[in-house]
Amino acid sequence: MFKITVVYPRAAEDDFNIGYYIDSHTPLVKELLGPYGLVKVDIEVGIAGAAPGSEPPYELICGIFFSDLVSLQTGMDAQGPILIADIPNFTSVTPIMQISRVE
């Protein structure tokens, strides 16, 4: 299995719209990448850091899973620009992305 991890760093000046992310962006991810073999989407909303009472380092972490690397790459090549263009609708922070093989 292969995964795109998208990490949204927490920033004091950002007003991350989690409602939009969950209600609009995530369905868009599923709609656009479904035909390319999307297996699942996991969303993690940060609630705290490691130290007691600390803020989370990330506002949100998203895992986008595919059964094979070719499907992931084909889907992102075709639909990635649309998904990236939607980012300003929920955050002003530039996300960090990584593609991984899930063991």
Segment 18-70, tens digit of pLDDT: 999 999 999 999 999 999 999 999 999 999 999 999 999 999 999 999 999 99
List the structure tokens of 18. Answer: 């989690």
- Work out how many domains the chain is built from and give that number: 1
**Per-residue model confidence (pLDDT) at position 45:** 96
11 close to 93: Cβ distance less than 8 angstroms:
yes
By CB neighbour count within 10 A (0-12 exposed, 13-18 middle, 19+ buried), where does 76 fall?
A: buried
Give residue 70's pLDDT: 97
pLDDT value at residue 60: 97
Q: Is the pLDDT of residue 12 over 90?
A: no
Q: How far apart are CA 25 and CA 12, in angstroms?
A: 22
Tens digit of each residue's pLDDT (9 = 90 or more) over 75-98: 999 999 999 999 999 999 999 999
Strands (E), the chain: 2-9, 38-45, 58-66, 96-101
- Bigger pLDDT: 40 vs 14: 40
Confidence category of residue 13, pLDDT binned at 50, 70, 90: confident
Average pLDDT of the segment spanning 10-25: 93
**Domain boundaries, position 31:** 2-101
- Distances in Å between the alpha carbon of 89 and those of 11, 42, 49? 16, 20, 26
Q: Supply the CATH number for residue 90's domain.
A: 3.30.70.100
